[in-house]
Amino acid sequence: MSDWQLTRTFRSSSGEVRWDTLGGTGRDPVVLLHGTPFSSYVWRDIARALSRRHHVFVWDMPGYGTSEMSDGQDVSLAAQGRVFTELLTHWGLAEPRVVAHDFGGAVSLRAHLLHGARYRTLTLVDPVALAPWGSPFFRLVGEHSEVFDRLPAALHRALVREYVSSASSPGLHPTVLDRLVEPWLGEVGQAAFYRQIAQADQRHTDEVQDRYGEITVPTLVCWGEDDTWIPAEKGRDLVSRIPGAHLEPIPGAGHLVQEDAPAALLAALLDQCAARTIAGPRGG
């Protein structure tokens, strides 16, 4: 488990957040946001590659990965948007480049549109951004989270493994799958898994969905062409709503683009950074 560890702690309004940085200070900063039911671990290879040119910030959202998981904890999109804004202030980042996956996409959009967070560039990777969202399984669990929370540990483990596996098109390496599932096991992890689904309310994207036309940050939308969690059509729709946004389809990738096609995703991110370095930021 020593291949990816977050060594720093921040006390947020929704509990203790584990975070870390890679690369030298003073370099162009990049912040990576994970989705659900994942953690910063999905960014490990991309983060290390980007750290050769950038100061990279990674974190586990409250209720995820190695961050705090506790009874009664607010891990909703609304809470995560506030926490991300708090972290940017804590890190002293006035206008970083932001790369956000899945649920993290909605977090970054809420922080920008509702809390005034400023970005130099914004890259959204298969984001939760447009209604309706959530797979049939996700919605079923959300409606009956208290029932699923009482599943025997072995059945819960099998369910989470199958669910996480379905985020990949070619399939996940067993070691990677084990690492992604591990935070959700045990009494604390099992409760946290169903808590985050129960709090995943679509109204938190409905609140900002009609405001995407206000975004002036240079925006790239990357989408796995084989995503079965959020169809690629959502990417085309999203790009049409954000002025000047560009769509980058990723062939052969499912929802977990970072695992399925890391080289293609990294190339798109580097192109985005290089182009905007030459042109300069547009603000937001």
Instruction: Give a three-class secondary structure readout of 159-212.
Output: HHHHHHHCCCCCCCCHHHHHHHHHHHCHHHHHHHHHHHHHCCCCHHHHHHHCCH
The stretch 70-79 carries a mean pLDDT of 96
The stretch 262-276 carries a mean pLDDT of 89
Name the average pLDDT for the chain: 93
- pLDDT reported for residue 284: 38
- pLDDT reported for residue 88: 98
- pLDDT reported for residue 11: 98
Cα distance between residue 135 and residue 232, in whole Å? 14
Q: Is 70 exceeded by the pLDDT of residue 152? A: yes
Q: How large a percentage of the chain has pLDDT more than 90?
A: 85
The stretch 146-150 carries a mean pLDDT of 85
Worst-scoring range by mean pLDDT, 70-79, 132-141, 198-207?
Answer: 132-141
The stretch 242-259 carries a mean pLDDT of 97
Give me the count of residues in the chain. 284
Burial classification of residue 205, based on how many CB atoms lie within 10 Å of its CB (0-12 exposed, 13-18 middle, 19 or more buried): buried
For 8, phi and psi rounded to 5 degrees?
A: -115, 160
The stretch 199-225 carries a mean pLDDT of 95
CA angle (119, 124, 129) in 5-degree steps: 105
pLDDT (tens digit per residue) in 26-35: 889 999 999 9
Residue linked to tokens 């990417």: 235
Q: Is 80 exceeded by the pLDDT of residue 58? A: yes
Answer for the pair 134, 102: CB distance below 8 angstroms, yes or no: no
| CA quadruple 246, 254, 83, 191: dihedral, nearest 10 | 160
pLDDT (tens digit per residue) in 95-136: 999 999 999 999 999 999 999 999 999 999 999 999 888 777
The pLDDT confidence band at residue 280, using thresholds 50, 70 and 90, is very low
The pLDDT confidence band at residue 143, using thresholds 50, 70 and 90, is confident
Cα distance between residue 206 and residue 248, in whole Å? 24
Contacting residues for 120 by C-beta, under 8 A, at least 6 apart? 28, 95, 96, 97, 217, 218, 276, 281
The stretch 69-90 carries a mean pLDDT of 97
- pLDDT reported for residue 276: 57
- pLDDT reported for residue 145: 81
- pLDDT reported for residue 144: 80
